[in-house]
Amino acid sequence: MNKAPISRFSTPEIADLPDDIRTRILTVQEKSGFVPNVFLVLARRPDEFRAFFTYYDALMDKPGNITKAEREMIVVTTSNANQCQYCVIAHGAILRIRAKNPLIADQVAINYRKADITDRQKAMLDYAMKVAFEAYAVNGADMGLLASHGFSEEDAWDIAAIAAFFGMSNRLANVTNMRPNDEFYTMGRS
Amino acid sequence: MNKAPISRFSTPEIADLPDDIRTRILTVQEKSGFVPNVFLVLARRPDEFRAFFTYYDALMDKPGNITKAEREMIVVTTSNANQCQYCVIAHGAILRIRAKNPLIADQVAINYRKADITDRQKAMLDYAMKVAFEAYAVNGADMGLLASHGFSEEDAWDIAAIAAFFGMSNRLANVTNMRPNDEFYTMGRS
Amino acid sequence: MNKAPISRFSTPEIADLPDDIRTRILTVQEKSGFVPNVFLVLARRPDEFRAFFTYYDALMDKPGNITKAEREMIVVTTSNANQCQYCVIAHGAILRIRAKNPLIADQVAINYRKADITDRQKAMLDYAMKVAFEAYAVNGADMGLLASHGFSEEDAWDIAAIAAFFGMSNRLANVTNMRPNDEFYTMGRS
Amino acid sequence: MNKAPISRFSTPEIADLPDDIRTRILTVQEKSGFVPNVFLVLARRPDEFRAFFTYYDALMDKPGNITKAEREMIVVTTSNANQCQYCVIAHGAILRIRAKNPLIADQVAINYRKADITDRQKAMLDYAMKVAFEAYAVNGADMGLLASHGFSEEDAWDIAAIAAFFGMSNRLANVTNMRPNDEFYTMGRS
Amino acid sequence: MNKAPISRFSTPEIADLPDDIRTRILTVQEKSGFVPNVFLVLARRPDEFRAFFTYYDALMDKPGNITKAEREMIVVTTSNANQCQYCVIAHGAILRIRAKNPLIADQVAINYRKADITDRQKAMLDYAMKVAFEAYAVNGADMGLLASHGFSEEDAWDIAAIAAFFGMSNRLANVTNMRPNDEFYTMGRS
Amino acid sequence: MNKAPISRFSTPEIADLPDDIRTRILTVQEKSGFVPNVFLVLARRPDEFRAFFTYYDALMDKPGNITKAEREMIVVTTSNANQCQYCVIAHGAILRIRAKNPLIADQVAINYRKADITDRQKAMLDYAMKVAFEAYAVNGADMGLLASHGFSEEDAWDIAAIAAFFGMSNRLANVTNMRPNDEFYTMGRS
């Protein structure tokens, strides 16, 4: 197991965490076979941990027209543009698994415009990138473009909220030097 | 009262909201004399609303070396760089009140480098801007610089988390065309 | 009265200034009730002062299709993009007064795309921003777009000249650390 | 003689101009052997013409530690960064003549960091470029750096004012499609 | 086998290629077990193909202080910054193999500043990124910094030439929509 | 003759060079009357020299719809954007000669959008600039735009390859401080 530090800041022992946080972490560990480092890095601040993962669940687990794989595409695309190692590598793994496609994550991370995705998905990612880098200029024409690809008003909110939330997450991960677990690199590749 | 829409998206009636959200909104209204639009715009999505304000409270109300006025400086500075009307105007009002200074908000919004603030506060804002725009390059030297101004490791986390959270908030406000309430413009100016 | 320096450079005593400059300053003082700092900061160089204000008058006081309030919108929008405290705060005050609108200045400063202005005014400001940041790419299509909103060739010149002149003014104010007078912050807000 | 239009806007006949403007133009023509197009393009607006050239004279003809050739270096360097054909070509000619150096103008236009100039001149141009593109960040350290190369406070003002004035001029020339006279291209090259 | 086109342009049949090119391609195929698409995409232009691979060999196979794995780090880092799918994915595979490290390629691609590499390697990549994005500003101080990490003058040339060559390669791959072979994604990951 | 160094790196004596390189250099010298410094600077690395000039010849001397003067326009335009003194000055000379136009090189270097060239040539340069600075976004619409101006698929490759190759060349010249020969400045000006 890799012994490099997983954060610039110290991280708590799981045993010392408040019950709800410890339970969430142990549940993830049971399901995944390891504890993704984001849980340990953020657990240093229990209140922020709770808010972060409540928000995360609200955006990534909700039903809607945008599939779970597509939600991960938004994360992976914007996170590489923000140069966030943790988010690209961890969510790249989830994207490969959810899309059942071993190539998709690297493709959308590096240049989604050249990825094996639909035009609708490219329009979704164009908009997500605009939210990530030029949200001040988002306008009615963007909404019209999304609608022309079949995205509803709710979808427009979802895409924007995911891009915005992971913009926060990318910054936290970069500031903390959050280290991706070794396990993520190969998940979903075969 | 201004009748312009407060969001590109429809907003719920307060009476129709879940109890906890309605209670929070009515409490704010009682205290402030009006309902800041961010509450109504985000209430369209109750789960996201709860996560957003839990996070907000965790970052803005917590005790620490960084004063509440300084926290607002971080919000106002990064929000103008992100061209977010709602956040600059609403948090500009809060900053004026918390700093008991009618000039400070406009100064830090437009160019914090020329504002009537201390060198320590300028270092805080330099770092907040780096988190907002170049988080990928944050490194040990930044931590050292903060330390040289008396900021602890906890402070470094606080500043970064506030800049990151409001980066998300700025994007949501710009995408939704969130309108600042008329009341904010003049609060704390005299 | 605020005692902070109004410029990085020393500023002359009004009594020591050449007659024409002293007269102009005293006239402004009589009309406004105070001497805007730009007069004192630039008076250090009488020849440049004269040219600056002659140019200013030629652009801002001339008759034309673009109203005085609209001219101020151009100044405020481009000056915030250039992070010029003096120009945003001083011309924000003038804009509020000329537009008889206490909200407009903060709105256009932070993000004119979301301000309570007409589509014609947004087109005017899009063009002003292009002059301020990408003048090299201004072309016939820009002129056509302006014409489609009812702007004449003369108007196109006016908008561009105002954006260009205040681009110079923004740079001078930032280099000199020109301080906005306290009076400007609240003018026209009620 | 080249018959391409010298401006996107119509230009007046010299004979129709106000006396003072016509006289200035004829004097230049007598001295140079041709009328630089900037005079004809700007003469369309007599008041702006007068202010522009008064300002120009105040900055470019004043005595000081910065030589006339050095002033032209500032113009040529910043004007190429602003992609202004007229200013680079016309002032490139003047720079070659004033510096008695046929190579210098092309060198500083394309990359002043690699030009045959002194370290003091490179520091001057670093500062001029900061004024042109990041004036919001000019600070005491810049003043100290200039001082370390022997520049006085007056020089710091001169450099900044020239960079700022030609920033305006570059924008006007780009918006008007101001055409450099054919004569400028070869002046001072042998 | 994936049937998606490997280039926006048509690609030749191996059998129809000039002898030297066919031989090179068959040799690579024998060694790797497949034909990397770059060979087929560029073979459309035999003269350019020859020059490209002669250059490639001269830079990547030459002996020197910079190891083969380090050369690949330069390629992967700058190629992700240029958003080049082919180069990041193909050279990521080679980097993993040469460094005998399954994690290194994704780390340096996304954010080399946070990768498990030495300070010397970070200095090498800082310089490579400066060559890729601000070569105009490379100066003696950069050379001094490299020297302080033990890089010779020859090494400085090597790093720069690799960054420059792959800057060309990145652009060609993006323009042609050059598709990475499926095989590259998993090479060297276990 | 100018005695300033032509490279940051040492350059070999012509007499000591491998036969093929010496021959190529002497041939150029005989034809031009001087040895362009690029030959001497790159000859320090014979293998890279051979690859560079083979590539150069393949792109610049090949027949096609894009004239030799137009190829030089691509070089001059993109090289000034990359701030490469050697390439703008040397290829500016070649452009003037090939286009039999003493003004064209300075015009396209500084702002090709305002140069005396055809709309077809402007479309060619728009595309070349996109390859140079945003190749990741080149797409089918760019190909369609080129086609609408009569450019074939082969032309699209040629333009892109020239822009990409000289992007490499610009970086090498900037890193080596490659000095343009004095002769280039005046060639083709009369």
**Low-confidence residues of chain E, pLDDT below 70?**
1-2
Cβ atoms < 10 Å from Cβ of D29: 14
* pLDDT single digits (tens) F92-101: 999 999 999 9
Give tens-digit pLDDT for F72-86: 999 999 999 999 999
State pLDDT tens for residues D99-144: 999 999 999 999 999 999 999 999 999 999 999 999 999 999 999 9
Tell whether E111 lies on the interface with B, counting CB pairs under 8 A: yes
> What is the predicted ipTM?
0.97
**In sequence order, which residues have a C-beta less than 8 Å from that of residue A108 and are 6 or more positions away?**
A73, A76, A77, A95, A115, A117, A125
SS3 call for F12: coil
- pTM beyond 0.80, yes or no: yes
Minimal-distance CA residue of chain C relative to F110? C136
Chain F contact for E147, CB < 8 A? Answer: no
Helix-strand-coil split of chain F, %, nearest 5: 70, 0, 30
State the average pLDDT over residues D147-170. Answer: 98
- Mean pLDDT score of chain C, rounded to an integer? 97
Phi/psi at D111 (nearest 5 deg)? -160, 95
Nearest CA in chain C to B175: C114
> Tokens 């003048």 belong to which residue?
C135
Q: Which residues of B touch A55 (CB under 8 A)?
A: 48, 51-52, 55
Q: Residue by residue, what is the 3-state secondary structure of chain E?
A: CCCCCCCCCCCCCHHHCCHHHHHHHHHHHHHHCCCCHHHHHHCCCHHHHHHHHHHHHHHHCCCCCCCHHHHHHHHHHHHHHCCCHHHHHHHHHHHHHHHCCCCHHHHHHHHHHHCCCCHHHHHHHHHHHHHHHHHHHCCHHHHHHHHHCCCCHHHHHHHHHHHHHHHHHHHHHHHHCCCCCHHHHCCCCC
Structure confidence at residue F62 (pLDDT): 86
Q: Does F136 contact A at CB distance below 8 Å?
A: yes
One-letter amino acid for residue B181 of the chain: N
pLDDT in tens, E7-45: 999 999 999 999 999 999 999 999 999 999 999 999 999
| C-alpha gyration radius of chain A | 17
For residues E164 and F51, what is the distance between their CA atoms, to the nearest angstrom?
A: 14
| Domain C14-60 matches domain C68-186 at the CATH topology level | no
Instruction: Convert the pLDDT of each residue in F140-162 to its tens digit.
Output: 999 999 999 999 999 999 999 99
| Cβ E124 vs Cβ E156: under 8 Å | no
pLDDT of residue D30: 97
Neighbours of E141 (CB within 10 A): 9
CA angle B33, B36, B42 (to 5 degrees): 145
A135 touches B174 (CB < 8 A): yes
Q: Does B137 touch chain E (CB under 8 A)?
A: yes
Read off the pLDDT of each residue in A144-170 and give the average, rounded to a whole number.
98
DSSP state letter for F179: P
Q: How confident is the model at residue B2 (pLDDT cuts 50, 70, 90)?
A: low
Tell me which DSSP letter residue C180 carries. Answer: P
Average pLDDT, chain F: 97
Q: Is it the case that residue A120 has pLDDT exceeding 90?
A: yes
Domain ranges of chain F: 14-60, 68-186
Looking up tokens 């232009």 gives E45
Tokens representing residue A49 in the block: 């941990």
**Contacts with D113 from chain E: Cβ below 8 Å:** 136-137, 139
The answer to whether F88 contacts chain D (CB < 8 Å) is yes
Distance CA E160, CA E154 (A): 10
Provide mean pLDDT across the span C96-106: 98
Q: Are A90 and A134 in contact (CB under 8 A)?
A: no
Task: Name the pLDDT band for D2 (thresholds 50, 70, 90).
Answer: low
Q: Which fold has domain D14-60?
A: 1.20.5
Is F106 in contact with D83 (Cβ distance < 8 A)?
A: no
Question: What residues of D are in contact with residue E137 (Cβ under 8 Å)?
Answer: 113
Question: Tokens representing F107?
Answer: 């015009």
Work out the minimum CA distance from D63 to partner chain F, whole angstroms: 30
Residue range A52-67: mean pLDDT, rounded: 95
Query: Do the beta carbons of residue C35 and residue C29 sit within 8 Å?
Result: yes
At the second CATH level, the architecture of A68-186 is Up-down Bundle (1.20)
Instruction: Please report residues of A whose CB lies closer than 8 A to that of F136.
Output: 111, 113
